[in-house]
Structure formats: structure tokens, C-alpha cells
Structure 1
Amino acid sequence: MKLKQLPLLMAPVLMLAACAQTPMGPTVMVLPGKDKSYAEFAQEQSFCKSQANSAVSGQAENQNHRALLGGLATTALGAGLGAAIGGGSGAAIGAGAGALGGGLGGSMYTNNQQGGIQTQYNNAYAQCMVAYHNVLGQ
């Protein structure tokens, strides 16, 4: 493998490592309402988690596609600029730089979007739990 190809191979790895994911669960604490059994609370909690999952369904995949397209666009832009400036070897260097920059940019983008998805999940979960007369923890 040529050293010039290394950045092209690293960009997909960087982007996959930074993919947004559907939240595993809430990051807000909710306590059982007054005189509520733990079994009843656990059943409400399970239902509200499924409702929160439905609220953010597909968002992580959508954000990952956007980041991937951005990475591909910067790779193509880098290759075009490199070819214009340095010919064939400039295109390889430009593509590598564009892929690396796109991978890092995509990583930052999905990391930012992950926080937004988690917030939406938490809001849907908390609203559902409060509707069942549970109490938000401090």
C-alpha cells in the first residue's frame, strides 16, 4: 500500500467511529410518584422509554448520512483543488487532505447532533413519566 493512500483509508474509519447513535436510555432521573409500587413504576418506565425511542427514531441514521455526504464532498473538493494546483500527485494529496478534513468535520458534526438527539429523547421520556405522575429528580 502506498503512503499516499493512507489518508483515504483512514477517513471512513474516522467517520464510522464518530457515528451518531440512538440513545441507549434517558440521562434524566425520574422518581416514582407518591404511593406508587416499584412494579408499576418499572412498567411506566419501560413504556416511556419505548415512546422516547419512537420520538427520535431514524434521526441518528439521517445525521450519519449527512456527515458521510459531507466527507465525500470534501474529498472530491480536495482532489479537484489538488489536481488544479499540483497535477496527478496533487490530486492524491488533495483527496487525502480532503478525506481527513471531511472525516474530522463529520466527526464533530455527528458528536454535536448526538447531543441534540439525546436531549429530544430525554424530553420525550420525561414528559411521558410526568404524565404518569412521577417526579423529575434533581
Structure 2
Amino acid sequence: MNYRRLVILLSLTGLAACTVMPTGPSVMALPGSSKTFDQFRADDASCRQFAFQQVGGVSADQAAANSAVGSAVVGTAIGAAAGAAFGGGSGAAIGAGAGLLTGSAVGVGAAQTSGYGVQRRYDYAYLQCMYAAGDKVPVYGPMRTAPPNGAYSTPPLPPPGIQPPPPSS
């Protein structure tokens, strides 16, 4: 019966540690206006390598797995110590199991946070590199189009009697 509980506990722990992150950029870049597709592919390969170096040579998936395992190990150690302090030898085993389960559950959130943080830093480095290489990097936000005559109008003046805000220094 104890082996059955152990198998269930280890299965839950293994499932809790599963976090899958992209293995490359999760953002879009497009070839620059004067670039061939082969030049773009060379920029892409170079910028992927640059971004990987900027995040310390660790993929987002590796960072997530390391965080999950670390949380499970810390939870097991704390649970075993608490169990031994309160219940002796058998308490250590029960505390270790409870700590492993709790540490794994906490590790899921920590793993996702760690993985997403590494992925975000990777994406920023990748976009900076691609932009510096002359490729197009789409940005999100409101678009402003040029009027038909090509000239932008100036904003209207405030009504008479209302003072504009003082210039910021």
C-alpha cells in the first residue's frame, strides 16, 4: 500500500513540474525593405544566438524545470526537518512526502514565472538585435496614418482665457 502512495505522489510531482516554453522567439520580425530572405535568415540566426547569450545560455524551458525541481527539493527538505522535529523517524518520512507535494505545487507557479521571465528577456534581446540589423519589428498600438495631402495638422489652440500648462523642465 505504501508503494502505491509513493507512485501516486511521484506521478503528481512529475506532472507538476511540466511547463513547456517556446524554444525560440515568441515575437515576429520581418525582413527589412532592402533585404533578401537569405539575409533575413542570417540575421535571425545571429539574433537568436545573441538573445540566448543575453539570458545566460539558459532556455526558458530549462529555467522553468530548474525552478520546479528546486522548489520540490526545498519543500522536501523543509518537510522532512519539520516532520522529524515533531514526529521522530516516521514523522520525517511523512513530512518529506508532504513537503515534496507542497514544494511541487508551489514549484508550478515558480516554474511558470521563471520560464516566462526568461522568455520575455530573450524576446526583448531578439527584437533589439533584429531592429539594429535593419529588419522590421512590428509594434502594437494605435496607428496614425498620414492625411491625404501628406501634412499633419497641428493640434487646436485652447479656447481664449484658458492658459496652457507650464512647460515641464
Query: How far is the alpha carbon of 1:87 from its aligned partner?
Result: 4.0
Q: Which one has more relative contact order, counting CA pairs under 8 Å at least 6 apart?
A: 1
1:94–1:4 CA distance, 2 compared to 1 (3 A): farther
Aligned match of 2:58: 58
How far apart, in 2, do the equivalents of 1:81 and 1:35 lie?
Answer: 65
| Distance change in 2, residues 1:66/1:74 (3 Å) | same
- The number of residue pairs the alignment matches comes to 136
Which residue of 1 is the match for residue 134 of structure 2? 133
* Compared CA separation, residues 7 and 98, structure 1 to 2 (3 A): farther
Q: In the TM superposition, what is the alpha-carbon distance from 1:52 to its structure 2 partner?
A: 1.2
Assess if the C-alpha contact under 8 Å between 2:24 and 2:48 holds in 1. Answer: yes
Find out whether 1:33 has 2:54 as its counterpart: no
Secondary structure of 1:103's partner?
helix
Change in Cα spacing, 1:124 to 1:79, as seen in structure 2 (3 Å) is: same
Q: Deviations over 1:2-31 (max 9, x none)?
A: 14534663465246524x76x511111111
**SS where residue 29 of structure 1 aligns?**
coil
Deviates most, 56-65 or 43-52: 56-65
Superposition RMSD on alpha carbons, in Å? Answer: 2.7
Task: Please report the TM-score for the alignment, with normalisation by the length of structure 1.
Answer: 0.78
Look up the match of 1:42: 41
Please say if residues 17 and 107 of structure 2, whose CA atoms lie closer than 8 Å, have aligned partners that are also in contact. no
- Report percent identity of matched pairs: 38
Match of residue 118 from structure 2: 117
Q: Is the 8 A contact 1:78 1:96 kept in 2?
A: yes
State the one-letter code of the partner of 1:96.
G
Deviation per CA, 1:40-87: give whole Å up to 9, x if none: 111111111111122221375566445434322221222232334444
Whether the 8 Å CA contact 2:13–2:104 is kept in 1: the answer is yes
Structure 1 residues 85-124: aligned runs within 5 Å: 85-124=86-125
Q: Is the 8 A contact 1:55 1:124 kept in 2?
A: yes
**Secondary structure of the corresponding residue to residue 24 of structure 2:** coil
Give the helix-richer structure, 1 or 2.
Answer: 1
Q: Which one-letter code corresponds to 1:49 in the other structure?
A: R
Structure 2, unaligned runs of 5 or more? 140-169
